[in-house]
Each structure stands twice: as structure tokens, then as C-alpha cells.
Amino acid sequence: MAHAIPQPSRSCPRFVMGSLRLAAAVYAFARRAARGRRLAYAMIAEPVDAAIDDARLVYRKALGEVFLRLVSEGVGNGELPPQDAAISAACIVGACLEGLVGPLAPQAASIHDAGVGLAESIARFCLRAVGCDPAVAVDIISRGGSDRWSVTAPPPPA
């Protein structure tokens, strides 16, 4: 079910929209992975043959391109500090995937709260990693969260 990305309000200046969109993309990716836990784990972490590994690389590249666009937007409008957006985007892909491996593993306990807490934690980490002010990151996550976000990130396999 698609929901609208929160729009800026008087308490949310326009300059945080890049960070908001980045948080929404990371959040949506993690929530979708939590909902399709078994397939997402297989796509992210299980040993696979070369054809599946090639599909993983294509998917990671597509995900990285979304994060690159969002980080570049944040740097371009001054809400994020200057940085190599391509490296930051690659690191966000890594943080998303590695942050999900343990919780999605077959032997892991079931994911409580439908993955909301997990997705919020990963999104908060990624915002801080690209230089978003921690207080702004917490505000962005608390205003978004749940299923109120929709993004253009490619969905993980589910």
C-alpha cells in the first residue's frame, strides 16, 4: 500500500527534504525486507550460484543509484556536508544489507513490530552516517516511520 512521503511543515524546513527522502528510502527497503524475510535473506546473504550473485550485484547497483541521487540532493541543497556521494551511497547500501542479515536469518527470533523498529534504527544510522544532525535525524524518523512513507527505491525481493 503506497503512502505519501511526509511534506515539509512549518516545523520541517524545506532543506531537510533530501534527508527525509533518504530516510524514507532506507526505511521502506528495510520494512519490505522484514515482510519478505525468507526471500530477502536469500537475496542478501545465502550462498548462491553465479547467476544469483550477478542478480545481487545488479540489485545493489540499482539501490546504490537511488541513494546516490538522494545524498547528492542533500549535499547540493546544503542540508548535508560535502562528501563523495558515490562512496556514501555505497556505504548506505552496505549498512542496509548488513543491518538486515542477522535479523532476517532463519535462526533469528521473529521480527517484532513488523520490522518498524529495525527499519527506524537502520534509517537513523544511515542519516547520521551522511552527516545529518542527530536531532534532525530523530525528528525525521519520528515524523515518518510506520507505513507513512513511500519511495522510489526498488523493492527488495519479497
Count the Cβ atoms, other than its own, within 10 Å of residue 102.
12
Instruction: Name residues whose C-beta falls within 8 Å of residue 145's C-beta, 6 or more positions apart in sequence.
Output: 27, 116, 120
Task: Return mean pLDDT, the chain.
Answer: 80
Q: What pLDDT is stored for residue 14 in this prediction?
A: 47
Exposed/middle/buried for 92, CB within 10 Å: 0-12, 13-18, 19+? buried
* Chain segment 2-14, per-residue pLDDT in tens: 333 334 444 444 4
Instruction: Name residues whose C-beta falls within 8 Å of residue 124's C-beta, 6 or more positions apart in sequence.
Output: 23, 137, 138, 141
Q: Percent of the chain, pLDDT > 90?
A: 42
> Cell triple for residue 114?
513488523
**Which segment of 3-7, 13-17, 60-64, 108-112 scores lowest on mean pLDDT?**
3-7
